[in-house]
């Protein structure tokens, strides 16, 4: 049986992954979130790996929760440190060398397992992959391990690549605010049985906070009408029942948990939001890769366009005031795009204070085909998204003279990357398809 404490579980999982090839479990099961490596992805992967490792018959193999980021990028996520702390008191930001678990059962950031620990000699045939918070591997992982994807639990548009009916693996794709809610729903029976057979209130409190962190952040503390679903409410109730907070979910658990006097939903949400939205110590390079996703659309004849989306938890006004001026922003975005060979670079912002809640969309098409695809996106979606030029238009260039184009809009606030990325990818595909027809 896998260790009950989260610290010991993560240690065992790391040992399984980093053991010499001959001693590694075969197949090795990995659970991974999407490449933005946001709270939802990271917490969902840890929770699903933990519960499956403790549930018959899956506990026959220890599941490794893999954070979809290089180790150095953990430091860009203070909100994750808070979610892992197992307590509501302001978390200490521990240094990388300090891996002593604290007495609350929480774990430090550096106890997590990242892409930096993924062995180069690990081959697809010796692995099974369970995806959370996405349903298609991306980038290098897709090239190496796509053939071994066995299941998913996700709340994005189905890309149709996760096989159906792989024995023993879920294939759940449902709309809801947070993927962590789907994980809690999937795992709650296992959690209840575990809590009865091997009671450990300290660990269960850490797990409950890990579940609540993304659920609250992704649904604005269950208050966002267009994001929150019944699944989110039920999952939050289950996790809060574990914290002994009375509510409808208490009946889901027979175990009687003591009330965690330190937990307060709105205080926890406020603290996570504050940490997530405080970008003041970061550079543009940090901010653009903190919550980042990239896709390539291809045609059979060899045409391809790559887009990268950086989601930023503050508005453009905040960035220009606190991080660097317009030239610094455009320089930062250009460097970010060139390092990743992007044809289109996108920044999506969330503005909270100055001028009220709003979202901005900065699009930069870096070459002629990209300009065509972006124009197509704008023509098709201006009404739907209610695109309006942002500010005084000084971020904009004209397309025709330079073979590139950047411009900035505000748009309807109910559209996030989850909706806008598929629309832009459709425009890219449609342009690629049209040019193929012309050849």
Site residues, Mn ion (CB under 5 A): 40, 133, 179
Nearer to Mn ion by Cβ, of 112 and 329: the residue is 112
Beta carbons of 252 and 237 less than 8 angstroms apart: yes
Nearer to Mn ion by Cβ, of 101 and 170: the residue is 170
Q: How far is the CB of 317 from Mn ion (least distance, A)?
A: 26
Cα Rg of the chain, angstroms: 22
- Tokens at 292, concatenated: 């980042």
Nearer to Mn ion by Cβ, of 40 and 271: the residue is 40
Q: Give the Cα separation of 165 and 90 in Å (integer).
A: 44
Q: How far is the CB of 35 from Mn ion (least distance, A)?
A: 12
Residue facing Mn ion at closest CB distance: 40
Nearer to Mn ion by Cβ, of 73 and 133: the residue is 133
Q: How far is the CB of 275 from Mn ion (least distance, A)?
A: 18
Residue 189: other Cβ atoms inside 10 A: 12
Alpha carbon of residue 198 to chain centroid: 31
- Tokens at 228, concatenated: 């929150």
Q: How far is the CB of 213 from Mn ion (least distance, A)?
A: 12
Q: How far is the CB of 1 from Mn ion (least distance, A)?
A: 30
Nearer to Mn ion by Cβ, of 54 and 359: the residue is 359
Nearer to Mn ion by Cβ, of 154 and 204: the residue is 154
Nearer to Mn ion by Cβ, of 179 and 242: the residue is 179
Q: How far is the CB of 101 from Mn ion (least distance, A)?
A: 27
Q: How far is the CB of 369 from Mn ion (least distance, A)?
A: 31
- Tokens at 329, concatenated: 């922003």
């Amino acid at each position: 049986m896998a260790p009950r404490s989260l610290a010991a579980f993560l240690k065992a999982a790391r040992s399984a992954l980093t053991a010499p090839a001959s001693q590694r479990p075969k197949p090795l099961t990995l659970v991974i979130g999407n490449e933005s490596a946001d709270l939802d992805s990271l917490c969902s992967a840890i929770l699903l790996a933990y519960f499956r490792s403790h549930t018959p018959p899956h506990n026959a193999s220890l599941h490794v929760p893999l954070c979809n980021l290089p180790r150095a990028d953990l430091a860009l996520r203070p909100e994750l440190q808070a979610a892992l702390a197992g307590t509501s008191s302001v978390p200490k930001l521990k240094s990388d060398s300090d891996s002593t678990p604290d007495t609350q059962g929480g774990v430090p950031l550096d106890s997590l397992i990242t892409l930096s620990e993924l062995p180069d000699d690990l081959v697809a045939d010796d692995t099974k992959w369970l995806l959370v918070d996405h349903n298609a591997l991306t980038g290098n992982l897709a090239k190496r391990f796509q053939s071994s994807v066995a299941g998913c639990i996700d709340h994005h548009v189905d890309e149709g690549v996760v096989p159906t009916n792989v024995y023993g693996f879920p294939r759940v794709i449902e709309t809801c605010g947070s993927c962590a809610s789907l994980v809690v729903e999937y795992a709650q029976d296992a959690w209840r049985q575990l809590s009865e057979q091997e009671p450990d209130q300290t660990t269960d409190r850490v797990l409950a906070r890990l579940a609540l962190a993304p659920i609250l952040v992704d649904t604005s503390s269950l208050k966002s009408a267009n994001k929150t679903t019944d699944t989110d409410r039920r999952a939050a109730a289950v996790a809060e029942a574990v914290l002994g907070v009375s509510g409808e979910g208490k009946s889901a658990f027979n175990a009687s948990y003591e009330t965690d006097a330190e937990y307060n939903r709105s205080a926890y949400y406020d603290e996570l939001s504050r940490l997530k939205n405080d970008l003041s110590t970061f550079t543009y390079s940090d901010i653009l890769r903190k919550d980042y996703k990239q896709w390539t659309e291809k045609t059979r004849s060899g045409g391809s366009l790559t887009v990268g989306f950086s989601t930023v938890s503050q508005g453009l006004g905040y960035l220009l005031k606190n991080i660097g001026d317009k030239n610094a922003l455009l320089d930062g975005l250009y460097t970010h795009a060139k390092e990743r060979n992007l044809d289109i670079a996108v920044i999506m912002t969330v503005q909270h204070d100055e001028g009220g809640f709003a979202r901005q969309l900065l699009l930069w098409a870096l070459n002629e085909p990209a300009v065509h695809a972006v124009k197509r996106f704008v023509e098709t979606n201006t009404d739907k998204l209610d695109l309006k030029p942002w500010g005084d238009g000084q971020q904009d260039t004209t397309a025709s003279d330079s073979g590139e184009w950047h411009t900035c809009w505000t748009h309807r606030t109910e559209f996030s990357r989850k909706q806008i990325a598929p629309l832009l990818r459709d425009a890219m595909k449609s342009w690629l398809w049209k040019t193929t027809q012309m050849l």
